[in-house]
A = this chain, B = another copy of it.
Amino acid sequence: MPVTMAVVAARAGVSKATVSRVVNGAPGIDELTAARVRAVIQELGYVPSARAVGLARGRTGSVGILVPSLTWPWVGEVLQGVADVVESRGFGLLVFTFNQGPDSMRRFAAQLSGKAFDGLLVIEPSGTLDKIAELHDNGLPVVLIDDRGHEPRFPWVGTSNRMGARAAAEHLLAIGRTRPLIISGEPRFGCVRARLAGFQEPFQAAGVPLDPALTLEGDFTYASGIARAREALARGLAFDAVFAHNDVMAGAAMGVLREAGRRIPDDVAVVGFDDLPWTTQTEPPLTAVHQPVRRMGEVAAGALLDHLDGKRLTGDPIVLPTGFTVRESTVRPR
């Protein structure tokens, strides 16, 4: 026989209401009664049914997270940060992916209306921002992770792409590089525009304006890193550094450059972006702008749970600073 609250109550000689109060730490319970109830709970190994609590209380004790894919390292990092705080606060974490197009949206909507979770974290699957905004407007607590430069009108946590790109430029200037090749992401992303803008500022300030011909558009994939680097070589572009908008493209470019006989960092210094554990295992080790990806997950989850616990969300975005990690792709060790 499953041990329910009724069983505990009977055994302790009190009502279910009293057991409930003890379990939830309600004030104004006789300490002796409480102790007796606790003893029975202990003895029987009673744990409240999440379902029943949820139904009675009108909440589920779990939060959802919507992600575009589970196989991207960036997403994995965020998810781990989220899971750490969600779990440590005793909530469940329900994962939804948008891997299957419109079907995904339909099924997600079903879970949503089924009230399967109390609040939602989202790493925006491309093109769903309007729907998300709608959910938020309809009263679902939502926190967006990484705004991709859209700066929506609901709470989000992001990172300072501009500052990160600026740090990359300053580093390259400091080691005497003046003709950086930029392998960017797609400019339709706000983060890409921010990185482009931030990167050129220090050069501008130093009186070394960037050559527009040295900016090539990639799409964050390894293949595009290879293609753009080859293109730069084929066109005979003169450059003494590469600034790639992510680590993957930076790693790809390094392979092409070494293949072509360019020494790294002597001939070409290379800087990446993200600094994820899995993408900086390159030869040589990659200097990169560090995104606090995991921390973003933690902060977003914390903000959402605080909100569910009754603290009001300010609505102000939370922007975490980037870091900068210098490795051998820009500075030869001695």
Contact = CB atoms under 8 A, between A and B. Distances in A.
Interface of A: 45, 47-55, 60-62, 69-73, 75-77, 79-80, 83-84, 87-88, 90, 92-97, 99-100, 103-104, 107, 110-111, 113-116, 222, 248, 251-252, 255, 258-259, 277-278, 281, 283
Contact of A76 (B49, B76, B96, B251): B76
Contact of A281 (B47, B48, B252): B252
Given A259-B283, A278-B71, A283-B255, A97 B83 contact: yes
B96 A111 contact: no
A248 B111 contact: no
A182 to B, nearest CB: 21
List 9 A-B pairs, minimum CB-CB distance, nearest first: A47-B113, A255-B283, A50-B114, A70-B80, A70-B79, A71-B76, A50-B116, A222-B281, A51-B54
A80 B51 contact: no
A60 B55 CA distance: 12
Nearest to A48: B114
A84 B101 CA distance: 11
A153 to B, nearest CB: 25
Contacts of A104: 87
Nearest to A284: B255
Nearest to A277: B71
Contacts of A70: 76-77, 79-80, 83
Contacts of A107: 87-88, 90
A100 B71 contact: no
10 contacts: A47-B113, A55-B55, A69-B80, A70-B77, A71-B80, A84-B100, A87-B100, A87-B104, A92-B94, A93-B95
A25 to B, nearest CB: 16
Contacts of A83: 70, 95-97, 99
A71 B281 CA distance: 15
A92 B104 CA distance: 12
A75 B71 CA distance: 8
Residue in A92, A103, A251, A277 with the greatest tally of chain B CB atoms within 10 Å: A92
A184 to B, nearest CB: 19
A68 to B, nearest CB: 11
A79 B278 CA distance: 17
A49 to B, nearest CB: 6
A87 to B, nearest CB: 5
A222 B259 CA distance: 22
